[in-house]
Structure 1
Amino acid sequence: MYINSRIPPLKVRARLLMATLLLTGALMGCATTSVESRRELAGDMAARAGLRPLLLKTDGFQLAGFHRLGPMDKPASVYIEGDGFAWVDRRTISPNPTPRNPLALRLASIDPAPTVIYLSRPCQYVDLSQAPECHRKYWTSHRFAEQILESYDRALDDMARRWDVSGFHLVGFSGGGAVAALLAARRWDILSLRTVAGNLDPRALNEAKGVSPLTGSLDPMSVAAKLKRLPQIHYSGAKDRVVPAWIAESFVGAMGPDACAETHRVPGAEHVAGWPDAWRRLAPILPECPLGPGVP
């Protein structure tokens, strides 16, 4: 190997080591980003859309979010975030699930509805040192656990009472789609359900990817038939390799014939990329049943 005779080999090795350390540090910084910077990103995004901070304390978990209130006694559009930064890599659980790119918040920021509420998932955006309930299982194997659904159920009760909300249009992104579907199946005041890249068949998806099943979670497929008469649209990215379109199609298929549910593949959209532009067109479109929700 040729080495410039004016630079001693030791200095060459030192420079190479320093360059490697700097590059590694930069890559790690880009890959993880601090929790504080993730909170600032969400706060700035919400503020630009006129969404104010919200913290709902339930018996189970604190649910952080943002909201914009319109006239009382009207429906609210509620967005439920995805799984967030749940895993550092395939084998390493993240110490904090706060999203690095909160897509559901981006979509909520676009929605022109008068009342828009964004809810994170449990343990996102909160101080984990003050949240002993936030065991890592709740953003891995138990991400759709009964305790989590009970927290959202109580949160919606609280919002309906506090702000005189007449009903809820639910929108869930990725794992938030599973939460939204499970929540819709247990409430009478859900007016519609929309999912974006929704993980609506977690068992089949995990089997297809060769990863462990969600042993402590409820399965949206178990309530599919119960949602048959609820107006629904399930959007999938045509280029999504994380939650492929067949997942939503499997969920709607499990409802049986004549279900009031549609699936749409959005051209060019991936799991995250492409959705904000598409949502500017899709957000105002509410699902409808010919005879209205709940009518057989």
Structure 2
Amino acid sequence: MLKPRKEFIYLNINIFQLPRRVCCAAFLAVLAMLHGCVSIPSVQDRTKNAQQLAAQQGWEAHIIKTPSFNLMSYQPPMHQIEQLTIYIEGDGLAWITSRQVSSNPTPSNPLALKLALSDSTSTSVYLARPCQFVTDKYRHGCENKYWTNARFSPEVISAMNQAVSQLKEKFQASRLVLVGYSGGGAVAALLASMRDDVVKLITIAGNLDHQEWTDFHHISPLKGSLNAADYRQQLSAIEQIHFVGEKDKVIPPFLAQRFIGGLSVSAKAKVVVVPEQTHGCCWDSLWPDVLLGLQK
């Protein structure tokens, strides 16, 4: 029997080495929103923020059309590349409060976009989730179930898979690396389980077993969603790195550890715990150093 390649390690990055204003500002912004002290930016402002971030790097917005949804993608100038890295956004602004569903899931903080833009180690593109960043003209199919209980539904995953195939064809790539943040980690894992061209799966605070996750938080199960944990057999042959924050209360590290614990003993997978890191704050500041560390 092959020896297990599954690992659980700590990444030697100290979040307190970051500029104090970066961590404190992000923390206070989240805290204020949780207590209703600040207003949520409008959809237009959220979209404009993403457009400005992309434009600063010379990236452009592209709508990818599928039968079920139109998906927003931000891309660098097109050129042929053998290996393409696709960053997949998190759940975005799915809920206004614990009881009020958002009318539009466009994220206030497009973290996966920031990660993609900071990746100097690969040719990367960004792929939003259904109904994020798209105007009314392109919002057909946008029922709020697709960012609540059916956020990982078969039709969502099918649309995302079609978009990934279109991106692969456009850049004429032969291999893919899928990177997903939070709920985007679940999407990336599900896509990787059904494709034969994904050579690496990377998640950041990824929701890899939503049944375990909803049980842990004592919230309603995602009844309309596929669960990445049910596809571990298909994922066992793919190299995986799952980054989690030591102080992440949304996706605690033990959930990722349980996920890779269910992979086959020969799986090349590891969980990397980042000290002091929470679910959202500062991943984009850490990411360039994390990627450079992976190259060593």
Same topology, TM > 0.5? yes
Higher Cα radius of gyration: 1
Could you report, residue by residue, the CA deviation over 1:18-66 in whole angstroms, capped at 9, with x for unpaired residues?
xxxxxxxxx8683311001101111111112232212100111111020
Sequence identity of aligned pairs in percent? Answer: 38
- Corresponding residue of 2:251: 243
Mean alpha-carbon deviation: is it higher for 241-250 or for 180-189?
Answer: 241-250
The 1-side partners of 2:173 and 2:37 are apart by 42
Is 1:135 the equivalent of 2:143? Answer: yes
Select the residue among 225, 228, 235 that pairs with 1:217.
225
Alignment of 1:171-186 (within 5 A): 171-186=179-194
Deviates more, 1:124-133 or 1:259-268: 124-133
Give 1:131-280 correspondences, 5 Å limit.
131-280=139-288
Q: Does the 8 A contact of 1:82 with 1:104 survive in 2?
A: yes
C-alpha deviation, 1:129, in angstroms:
5.9
Measured after TM superposition, the shift of residue 235 of structure 1 is 0.2
CA distance in 2, matches of 1:95, 1:179: 21
The CA deviation at 1:284 is: 4.2
Corresponding letter in the other structure for 2:234: K
Tell me by how many angstroms 1:132 deviates.
Answer: 2.9
Instruction: Report what 1:84 is aligned to.
Output: 92
3-state SS of the aligned residue for 1:264? strand
- The more displaced of 123-132 and 71-80 is 123-132
Instruction: Give the aligned length.
Output: 263
Give yes or no for contact 1:231–1:287 (8 Å, CA) kept in 2: no
Give the Cα separation in 1 of the matches to 2:40 and 2:177.
33
Gaps spanning 5+ residues in structure 2: where? 1-34
* Contact 2:94-2:101 within 8 A present in 1 as well: yes
Structure 1 CA distance for aligned equivalents of residues 240 and 138 of structure 2 = 37
Distance 1:230 1:250, change over 3 A: same
Bigger relative CO (Cα 8 Å, ≥ 6 apart): 2
- Closer/same/farther in 2, CA of residues 225 and 240 from structure 1, 3 Å limit: same
Q: CA deviation at 1:214?
A: 0.2
Q: CA offsets, 1:101-135, max 9 Å, x none?
A: 11111111100144211011000001246423000
SS, match of residue 194 in structure 2? coil
- 1:103 corresponds in structure 2 to 111
Match of 1:34 among 23, 28, 42: 42
**Aligned equivalents of 2:256 and 2:70: distance in 1?**
29
CA distance in 2, matches of 1:128, 1:221: 34
Q: 5+ residue gaps in structure 1?
A: 1-26, 289-296
Look up the SS of the partner of 1:155 in the other structure: helix
Q: Per the alignment, do residues 233 and 148 of structure 1 end up closer, same or farther by CA in structure 2, a change over 3 Å counting?
A: same
TM-score, normalised by the number of residues in structure 2: 0.84
**AA of the residue aligned to 2:113:** L
Q: Aligned partners of 1:269 and 1:234: how far apart in 2?
A: 14
RMSD, aligned CA: 2.0
Deviation larger for 258-267 or 29-38: 29-38
Normalising by structure 1, we get a TM-score of 0.84
- Cα deviation, residue 277, structure 1: 2.0
Q: 1:93 to 1:246 in 2, by over 3 A?
A: same
Indicate conservation of the 8 Å contact 1:71/1:114, yes or no.
no
